[in-house]
Structure 1
């Protein structure tokens, strides 16, 4: 696993690294703690202005977030249990699916759509028609 605290990466984190990251969070400042598993899954905690953390995680491509912000002690417990691969971290607070990922935007739908037929014909005509122009008498 890899631990990233405000962009500083630790390739071999231990429990005390997470505890230190949460305990040393400056009051009123932002803090972003990201714990990456050996795959694509991760969990992160973002410090909010009121001193509580918003937890979120990605597992098998699906994103979930804590229903409510949690206190620093709860965030510490969840992150340490995740680091130790203890499945109890899921029971420490209620997680809900992140709805922002469920509905794709219109722009992403356009990007993923195939090109219109007229564009394919135009490109094919330009590609195959241009060499034929060289055979025309001048």
Structure 2
């Protein structure tokens, strides 16, 4: 006599998400002390090691790096990232460089490469709200 068991498919629960919001600024006009928003469509990348989303990581298993992207619009960004309730999840932040015109203190205009020189990495926890201000610095003269 044969008996069989019905294989039940396991569907994991979706991970909780947290919303990250922020403002992205730089100084495009050096003739004043004000900061301006970075150009629209500037990309921001967030990376999470999938191992940090597992309660008991499997030894010897190579976990993926999960990458999420958003773009800046009117100086602001928003993105939803996965998190867990059993520990803080480290997030690596990569701000793409961009090229824009910068007015110097003598009112001369130059095309400059702007980069974020600070480290903006952070950790997220379920149920928390996050708002960051990221700043780009003029890095070097853009050489055509």
Greater radius of gyration (CA): 1
The alignment's TM-score, normalised by the length of structure 1, stands at 0.29
Which structure has greater helix proportion? Answer: 1
For CA contacts below 8 A with separation 6 or more, give which structure has more relative contact order: 2
The alignment's TM-score, normalised by the length of structure 2, stands at 0.28
Which structure has greater strand proportion? Answer: 2
